[in-house]
Each structure stands twice: as structure tokens, then as C-alpha cells.
């Protein structure tokens, strides 16, 4: 007859290094052994030998197991032969924790008593991920990156309020999608959501675009026009690229944000509006404030809740998930289902810095599926930009002429002035950030 002591002496070296929480108990629910992962899951301190199914940092695992199908059996003197598997939501140290729990008997020959093994898997990240991708509009936020998860959770909390929200981040990171998500989860979801790209409207027209005008206000104003603020009445107005708003209009925007009051162009009649304003910028507004290009008081009015969206290159672990999600989206649009990315193709994708972020990744996925060979996406299926970048990294480029040498010196000087900040360096050089990145790639500047 094999004793419990002998069984545990054999099992403990197996269960201790496992990433899942493992508990071995007898038919009465007494814990005989538990690995370190159990302590990590429940934030327990001290000796694992003192772990109890009745109190795991306030959680009664024994009760949950009985409710899942062990009543009047496993812990009541008999044995439940059928494995039990379920999910449980609990709160540990004021944080929500989701566990996938499995329990089954250990079939150990010649044992003096049947033992039960309980397997605990923390699936909190999986639950958060499923909640995010439940809506297809949120697909670009498929993530397990801690910073992005915190951002999404905070965003959902602030959505229920009317607090002003500012999104800052590079082009292609999903600022517009986040604004749509915020509106959809707000109390204004049944009212209009109006988007305005301040960079796409000429400075001479943007005041009329936002606030409207009356007939005869200026040449070409042949009719009264309702502005975007009035069109968004009761709902949300999203001002993208707010940094491009002319300074002379910033005071008028500040007034409508503070008091909800404005006048249409050419009119002396004051109108009132109830609108929540969300803003976004791919530039650092604090720097613009310091440079007197953006009003200090307006910045603090629009940034009650500022969110910085990390670029894709700062969360490379999300790239495979995003590739799969984008592929699934394309399938719904009629692209073939039986297409797979080879390891050869994923290597350049993982090594590429993605200056265009998720927007660029979406284009690459679509390009690659179209160019797949016999259902497999290989390196040659990818756009040339990815393959050329990876090739250039392996083969250092030397500046061959005076023009290139001068260009390298200018870029390095700008980067030095900006302390390595590429966005600021691009501003110093008076070029777009993506242009700077392409020149750095061509000249092999790290």
C-alpha cells in the first residue's frame, strides 16, 4: 500500500514548477500540497503547507467546488469520479480576478486513499481581451499589453461622465477608434457622434465648419449653415488634430467648452449647445504650449483625462494577435479563410518598427493575403518595405556622397537636440515623422 506521504514525495517535484496553480487535497478537502503559483494567484504570504481550501485570501474554493458538482460526494465522504471544470469570478485585494478551475481524482494504484487535484488558471487577461474584441470596432485594441489594458479600463470608467478627454499618440494608433468607443459607452450613445479633422479644413473655413454661418457672412455664404457643434447637440464632437486649430479660434473654442455658448460667423445672436468634446493630437500639446503655439488654458480645459496611446513598436507582443484579428476581419469581407502566416513571414513583421502603427499593419496583412502562395504567406508575400528594412539592418549602409553625409549630420544633430525623440526631431527638421523614419532607415541611422 502506497502512503499519502510517498505519493506527495513523488508529486511535489512535478507540480512545484508549473505555471498553473496546483492543489492536491484528500476527500475531506484538506490540502496536502500546493505549488507557488497558488500563492501568486491569491497573493498569499508564508508557508504553502498552511493553504486552506476554505480561505484563500477570502475566497472559499471548497464551496465553489461543491457547488460545481461535488455536493454529497467528493468532500462528503464519497468520490465524484467525473472531472469538474468551471470559471469563477472573484475579488482579491479589491481587484477582479477570473479563474478557470478544474478538478479531478488522481488515479494512483495501491493508494490508501483517493486524492483530488485542483488546477487553477488565471484567465483575467483573456476575459479582458474577449470583452475588448466583442465589438469589431475595437479590433485594433486587441491587446495584453499592461499599459493598453489599463488605458482601456480607465477609458470605460470615464465614458460614463462628461469629462473632457484628450488622446495623444502617433498616427495610426487608433485615436479615432478610441473616441468612437468612448461615445458608444457614454450616456450620449443615442445622440450624434460628429468627427472633425482640424488638419483637413483650411484655416479660413474652420470657424464656419465648427460654428456655422449666416447668409451673407462672407463671399459664397449664400445660405445659413449649421456648424458641427450644433449638429452634435446632445452628443459628442470629436476634434482630431486639435493642434492644427488656428490660435485665433482657440479662445472661441475655450468659451464654448466652458459655457456652451457661441455665435455663428456673421451673427451677433448667441447660441447655446450641450456637447461633449473629445480631442486628439499626434503632437505633444505641452510642447506646443511651451512654444506659445497652443493656449495654456485651452490645453487644461480639454485634458481633464489625457490618454497617451503607446505605438505598436512598444507592444510587440500584441502583433501576432493583431495579425490574426485583422486576418479574421478580411475573411468577413470575402478573403479566403485557409491562409496562414509562415514563421519566415512573421519574422520581418515582428522586427519591423511600424511607423504607421496598426493602420500600416492592416495594410500589410491585406497585401500579404493577396500575395500568398498556395495558402501560405511567405517573406516574398510581404510588401517590399518590410523585406528591405530587414535586409538593410543586416547590411550597414555607408553614405556615398556629400549630400547624404550632410543629411546624416542634420538628422543626427536634430536627434541630439531632441534627446532621441523622433517626433520632436522631425519638427526641428520641419518634416513629417514618417519621412524622418524613412530617411533614417535609408541611411541606417539607429
Give me the CATH number covering residue 387: 1.10.8.60
The structural domain count of the chain equals 4
Per-residue pLDDT, 80: 53
Domain assignment present for 167 = yes
Domain assignment present for 252 = yes
Cα dihedral sign, 278-281-284-288: negative
pLDDT tens sequence for the chain (446 residues): 667 677 777 788 888 888 899 998 887 788 888 888 998 899 887 666 678 888 888 888 888 888 777 654 445 544 456 678 888 888 888 788 889 999 888 877 656 677 888 999 988 877 765 555 444 445 456 787 888 888 988 998 999 999 999 999 998 888 999 999 999 999 999 999 999 999 888 888 899 889 988 887 777 777 888 889 999 999 999 999 999 999 889 999 999 999 999 998 888 899 999 999 999 999 989 988 988 889 999 999 999 999 999 999 888 888 988 998 899 888 888 888 889 999 899 988 988 888 889 889 999 999 999 999 999 999 999 998 888 777 766 555 455 556 667 788 888 878 877 777 777 787 777 777 767 877 887 777 76
Per-residue pLDDT, 124: 82
Cα(353)–Cα(433) distance, integer angstroms: 13
Q: Are 92 and 98 in contact (CB under 8 A)?
A: no
Regarding whether 211 and 188 lie in a shared domain, the answer is yes
Cα dihedral sign, 285-289-291-293: positive
CATH number at residue 413: 1.10.10
Per-residue pLDDT, 196: 93
Domain assignment present for 129 = no
Cα(327)–Cα(311) distance, integer angstroms: 20
Taking CA atoms, 66 is separated from 75, 145, 437, in Å, by 7, 35, 60
Last residue of a domain, one of 257, 284, 308: 308
What is the maximum alpha-carbon separation in the chain?
101
Cα dihedral sign, 148-152-153-155: positive
CATH number at residue 82: 3.30.450.20
For 206-234, give the DSSP string. Answer: HHHHHH-B-TTSSTT--S-B--HHHHTTT
Domain assignment present for 91 = yes
Regarding whether 86 and 222 lie in a shared domain, the answer is no
Regarding whether 20 and 111 lie in a shared domain, the answer is yes
Per-residue pLDDT, 128: 67
Per-residue pLDDT, 367: 95
Regarding whether 76 and 208 lie in a shared domain, the answer is no
Last residue of a domain, one of 56, 89, 122: 122
Per-residue pLDDT, 189: 92
Q: Which helix (H) or strand (E) holds 189?
A: none
Cα(87)–Cα(354) distance, integer angstroms: 37
Sheet holding 193-197, edge to edge: 193-197, 236-240, 276-281, 165-168, 305-308
Regarding whether 75 and 32 lie in a shared domain, the answer is yes
Pairing between strand 95-106 and 115-122?
antiparallel
Per-residue pLDDT, 391: 73
Cα(417)–Cα(425) distance, integer angstroms: 7
Cα(210)–Cα(231) distance, integer angstroms: 9
Domain assignment present for 55 = yes
Of 231, 238, 232, 235, nearest in space to 167 by CA: 238
Locate cell 472661441: which residue? 252
Joined together, the cell numbers standing for residue 273 give 449647445
Q: With H, G, I as helix, E, B as strand and everything else as coil, classify residue 237.
A: strand
Terminal CA-CA length for the chain: 67
Last residue of a domain, one of 308, 338, 364: 308
Domain assignment present for 322 = yes
Regarding whether 106 and 36 lie in a shared domain, the answer is yes
Contacts with 401 (C-beta within 8 Å, 6 or more apart), sequence order = none
CATH number at residue 264: 3.40.50.300
Domain assignment present for 127 = no
Locate cell 505555471: which residue? 19
Secondary structure E strands in 319-377: 340-341, 376-377
Burial class (CB in 10 A: 0-12, 13-18, 19+), 33: buried
Cα(74)–Cα(80) distance, integer angstroms: 5
Cα(157)–Cα(185) distance, integer angstroms: 9
Regarding whether 199 and 79 lie in a shared domain, the answer is no
Domain assignment present for 257 = yes
Regarding whether 416 and 365 lie in a shared domain, the answer is no
Per-residue pLDDT, 136: 40
Regarding whether 416 and 385 lie in a shared domain, the answer is no
Regarding whether 275 and 194 lie in a shared domain, the answer is yes
Per-residue pLDDT, 77: 47
Q: Which domain holds residue 193?
A: 134-308
Regarding whether 231 and 328 lie in a shared domain, the answer is no
Regarding whether 67 and 21 lie in a shared domain, the answer is yes
Q: Are 361 and 354 in contact (CB under 8 A)?
A: yes
Cα(382)–Cα(361) distance, integer angstroms: 11
Amino acid at each position: 500500500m502506497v502512503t499519502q506521504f510517498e505519493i506527495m514525495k513523488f508529486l511535489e517535484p512535478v507540480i512545484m514548477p508549473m505555471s498553473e496553480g496546483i492543489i492536491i487535497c484528500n476527500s475531506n478537502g484538506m490540502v496536502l500540497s500546493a505549488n507557488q503559483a497558488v500563492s501568486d494567484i491569491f497573493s498569499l504570504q508564508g508557508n504553502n503547507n498552511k493553504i486552506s481550501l476554505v480561505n484563500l485570501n477570502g475566497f472559499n474554493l471548497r464551496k465553489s467546488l461543491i457547488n460545481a458538482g461535488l455536493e454529497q460526494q467528493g468532500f462528503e465522504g464519497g468520490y465524484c469520479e467525473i472531472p469538474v471544470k468551471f470559471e469563477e469570478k472573484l475579488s482579491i485585494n479589491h481587484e477582479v480576478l477570473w479563474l478557470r478551475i478544474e478538478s479531478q481524482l488522481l488515479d494512483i494504484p495501491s493508494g490508501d486513499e483517493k486524492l483530488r487535484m485542483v488546477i487553477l488558471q488565471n484567465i483575467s487577461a483573456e476575459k479582458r481581451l474577449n470583452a475588448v474584441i466583442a465589438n469589431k470596432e475595437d479590433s485594433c485594441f486587441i491587446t495584453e499589453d499592461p499599459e493598453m489594458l489599463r488605458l482601456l479600463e480607465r477609458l470605460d470608467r470615464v465614458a460614463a461622465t462628461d469629462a473632457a478627454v484628450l488622446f495623444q499618440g502617433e498616427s495610426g494608433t487608433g485615436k479615432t477608434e478610441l473616441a468612437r468607443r468612448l461615445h458608444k459607452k457614454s450616456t450620449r450613445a443615442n445622440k450624434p457622434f460628429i468627427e472633425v479633422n482640424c488638419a483637413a479644413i483650411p484655416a479660413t473655413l474652420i470657424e464656419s465648419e465648427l460654428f456655422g454661418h449666416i447668409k451673407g457672412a462672407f463671399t459664397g455664404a449664400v445660405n445659413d449653415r449649421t456648424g458641427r457643434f450644433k449638429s452634435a447637440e446632445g452628443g459628442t464632437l470629436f476634434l482630431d488634430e486639435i493642434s492644427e486649430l488656428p490660435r485665433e479660434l482657440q479662445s472661441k473654442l475655450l468659451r464654448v467648452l466652458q459655457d456652451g455658448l457661441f455665435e455663428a460667423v456673421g451673427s451677433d445672436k448667441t447660441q447655446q449647445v450641450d456637447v461633449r468634446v473629445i480631442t486628439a493630437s499626434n503632437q505633444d500639446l505641452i510642447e506646443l504650449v511651451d512654444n506659445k503655439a497652443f493656449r495654456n488654458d485651452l490645453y487644461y480645459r480639454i485634458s481633464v483625462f489625457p490618454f497617451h496611446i503607446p505605438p505598436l513598436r512598444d507592444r510587440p507582443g500584441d502583433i501576432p494577435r493583431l495579425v490574426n484579428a485583422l486576418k479574421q476581419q478580411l475573411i468577413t469581407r470575402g478573403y479566403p479563410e485557409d491562409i496562414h502566416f509562415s514563421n519566415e513571414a512573421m519574422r520581418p513583421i515582428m522586427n519591423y518598427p511600424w511607423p504607421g502603427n496598426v493602420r500600416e499593419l492592416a495594410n500589410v496583412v491585406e497585401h500579404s493575403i493577396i500575395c500568398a502562395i498556395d495558402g501560405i504567406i511567405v517573406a516574398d508575400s510581404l510588401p517590399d518595405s518590410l523585406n528591405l528594412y530587414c535586409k538593410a539592418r543586416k547590411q550597414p549602409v555607408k553614405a556615398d556622397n556629400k549630400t547624404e553625409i550632410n543629411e546624416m549630420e542634420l538628422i543626427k544633430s536634430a536627434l541630439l537636440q531632441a534627446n532621441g525623440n523622433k517626433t520632436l526631431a522631425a519638427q526641428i527638421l520641419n518634416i513629417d515623422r514618417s519621412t524622418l523614419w524613412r530617411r533614417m532607415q535609408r541611411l541606417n541611422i539607429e
